[in-house]
Structure 1
């Protein structure tokens, strides 16, 4: 009986060790989870931004095809973010100054540091008489990372200095109103926008630039867009641009009339 028990135990040892040290159990999967479509799209967008952070490619071909400034022409570059980019291009925004030698060089989502980088290509090299800069709301939203008001102000200074050094008249527009950002809730932009606008107005007065006040005509009592003039509380619709257009034209007339 003892010999039988011993033989039984000896026979079981290989089975026991195989269970502890062997590969009898299926190994845990180490394969990476499948990337969903939304994540893949976000990754592709991030790669594109890394490859061309200031989006110099956006207008490169259009700039190359642009004819030289004609004799007596007073070309104006509208330079900015989505609020400029969408003007006359997005459905429901009306037209963009038909018959005028005005060039739209807005890029949706851009912040002032990106705009500084592309300023030479998309403004200076087009030889305008004036540049109308509308920017800053995406700085407040933190589209390219957290920014202080001082950082935004320094970028406005840089663009104005570049324009002035190249004989281009400067028009600095107020940041348009926003009570909240639909793509980044909770940033409380209204008081921040008012503060930067106050700085812009004072800066223009000190340096002889034109301050274009869109804000007063577009804002409600809470610092947001008035009802019915925007798609989402940030981006103007046709009614919003209909308010902005004569204000912009008056600022251009004032600026170029002073030459």
Structure 2
């Protein structure tokens, strides 16, 4: 009887080891992937080169862009608009992703929406200058690769619901937007103004267009789609 129990114990133990070994083989370690390059890698690899005359546009940003495709997938169903938003990302992460998620996809234009998460973190190391340096690097990479640049005036935000202790959010967004506009004008980049059609009297988002004061609802995205189309058309028809 003792021998029988011993055999059963050995069987269960060996089965547990096999399961653990199988799990360790299957689970890949992405702890080194700070910019989450893995998120769109397979999708990018399966993407064919753009057809002749195709007006491919990459939307590079964070949750505002990622949630857009979830709220209104029809807008991205034409195949020429590629959503490469990743929730929570800050501007240096967008810069790291720029080659894989923009340049290698050979778009005609890129829409860069950056800065809000940098400011929302309130780590004490972020300024307009640090955000702008990353935006400038992305814009210069795009221009070098003959990709039209569209820079966004960030959506209005009065406060971040997850960090209500952070004061002066609206003023920070306004200040960053002013610097983005100034840089875009100096370099003849197209400005995509998400601020003006969405702003309320407090310099936050109009309640009718947002879910939480930061992220748009479907109605908000519909407004964004209109001004986005105008900016894309302007960028693709602008002479160098």
Query: Taking structure 1 as the reference length, what is the TM-score of the superposition?
Result: 0.77
In the comparison of the two structures, how many residue pairs are matched? 210
Corresponding residue SS for 1:218: coil
- Determine helix, strand or coil for the equivalent of 2:183: helix
Is 1:195 aligned to 2:172, yes or no? no
- 1:232 Cα offset (Å): 0.4
Give, in whole Å, the separation in 2 of the partners of 1:76 and 1:149. Answer: 26
Distance 2:199 2:152 in 1: 14
Question: Of 165, 170, 181, which residue of structure 1 is paired with 2:149?
Answer: 170
Does structure 2 retain, via aligned residues, the 8 Å contact 1:110–1:143? no
What residue number does 2:52 align with? 71
- Structure 1 regions of 5+ residues with no counterpart? 1-47
Equivalents in 1 of 2:113, 2:180: separation in Å?
Answer: 11
Question: Contact conserved, 1:139 with 1:146, CA < 8 A, in 2?
Answer: no
- 3-state DSSP class of the match of 1:118? helix
The 2-side partners of 1:191 and 1:210 are apart by: 23
SS class of match (2:162) = coil
Q: Whose helix proportion is higher, 1 or 2?
A: 2
User: Matches of 1:118 and 1:94 in 2, distance apart?
Assistant: 23
Distance 2:45 2:31 in 1: 24
Who is 1:129 aligned against?
108
C-alpha change, 1:151 and 1:96, in structure 2 (3 Å) is same
Instruction: State the alpha-carbon separation in 2 of the partners of residues 62 and 143 from structure 1.
Output: 33
Relative to 1, partners in 2 of residues 1:137 and 1:49: Cα closer, same or farther, differing over 3 Å? farther
* Root-mean-square deviation over aligned CA pairs: 1.7
Structure 2 gaps of 5+ residues are: 1-28
Shift of 1:101: 0.8
Whole-Å Cα distance in 1 between the matches of residues 122 and 171 of structure 2?
18
Are the equivalent residues in 1 in contact too, given 2:69–2:83 (CA < 8 A)? no
Task: Tell me the secondary structure at the aligned position of residue 79 of structure 1.
Answer: strand
For the pair shown, the structure with the greater C-alpha radius of gyration is 1
- 1:87–1:95 contact (8 Å) kept in structure 2: no
Report the CA distance between 1:50 and its aligned residue.
4.2
Per-residue deviation at 1:81? 0.4
Aligned to 1:211: 191
Aligned counterpart, 2:25: none
Task: Identify the residue that residue 59 of structure 1 maps to in structure 2.
Answer: 40
Say if 2:176 is the partner of 1:221: no
Distance, in Å, in 1 between the alignment partners of 2:164 and 2:189 is 34
Q: Distance in 1 between matches of 2:54 and 2:143?
A: 19
Question: Could you state the TM-score of these two structures normalised by the residue count of structure 2?
Answer: 0.83
The 2-side partners of 1:186 and 1:178 are apart by 14
Displacement of 1:223: 1.4
Q: Secondary structure at the match of 1:220?
A: coil
The separation in 1 between residues aligned to 2:207 and 2:63, in whole angstroms, is 20
